Amino acid sequence: MRNEMPVIFAAHGAPMLLDDPVWTQELAEWARAMPRPASILVISAHWAHRPIALGATRTVPLVYDFYGFPEQYYRTQYPAPGAPALAERVRRRFDAAQVPWIDEPERGLDHGAYVPLLPMYPDADIPVLQVSLPALDPANLLAMGRALAALRREGVLIFASGFLTHNMRYAFRPGIPAWAREFDAWAEDALMHFKVEELLEFQTRAPSARIALPTWEHYAPLLVAVGAAESGGHAATFPISGFWLDGAFTKRSVQFG
């Protein structure tokens, strides 16, 4: 019988993360330190759909959901096997929790999924299923994670992908703003001590929340991970931290269990 898998939230950067030797090495080392998953369930900031949608259960083309980048990034491939068995288990979990869902059989992995997966599992030999975020409602996101939590005991790595600070007005400016440090420090404390209510109410309880996350779809996957971590080991560690290019985007990633 497999040990319970951890739940993770990974900062996923942008396509050019793949050219960052430090960050890709950190991701690779993180994957090596975890048990090898039987399959991976990805919840990315870059796919929202209500009701929750389950993506392709076979290998289909990636979704290059970004604009104006060099051509090389539109040639990236990650031909991971589909995960039809995992999809069926997810459907059953959602049905049991009365969570509505639909299938989107042509929807491939977006960059919130394949960018971190490439350095973590470069052989693309682990089945991957992506599911969408529902509406940006903290309680619904937490409930989604709770509905999926039992999959941890079946060898499934629940893989949430986003960013804890995401303000594009400050993208690639030099220097780490004070507000980014404040929000990152708050997140570290709230996650370390598993302060679920604070994490849910981050918009009113976290310092600099409005500037750190003027829109919060990149934070939303974290709440799914928190919900999935509640029922099992939820001691938090931070395999990756610091700020990307010494700017406003925190690289903080978290592992529960």
Residue 211 confidence (pLDDT)? 97
Residue 171, pLDDT > 90, answer: no
The secondary structure of the chain in percent helix, strand, coil, rounded to multiples of 5, reads 40, 20, 40
pLDDT at 233 over 70: no
Continuous H helices in the chain:
21-33, 84-96, 111-120, 138-148, 178-192, 196-200, 202-205, 209-212, 220-229
Query: What CA–CA distance (Å, rounded) separates 227 from 142?
Result: 4
Element spanning 8, H or E: strand 7-11
How does the average pLDDT of the chain come out, rounded? Answer: 95
Structure confidence by residue, pLDDT tens digits, 4-45: 999 999 999 889 899 999 999 999 999 999 999 999 999 999
- Counting residues of the chain whose pLDDT is more than 90, the rounded percentage is 91
**Domain covering 7-256 assigned CATH 3.40.830.10 in the classification:** yes
Mean pLDDT across 137-142: 96
Rounded to whole angstroms, how far apart are CA atoms 240 and 22?
Answer: 10
Portion of the chain with pLDDT greater than 70, in percent:
98
- Residues comprising the chain, all counted: 257
35 in Cβ contact with 5 (< 8 Å): yes
pTM for the predicted model, two decimal places = 0.96
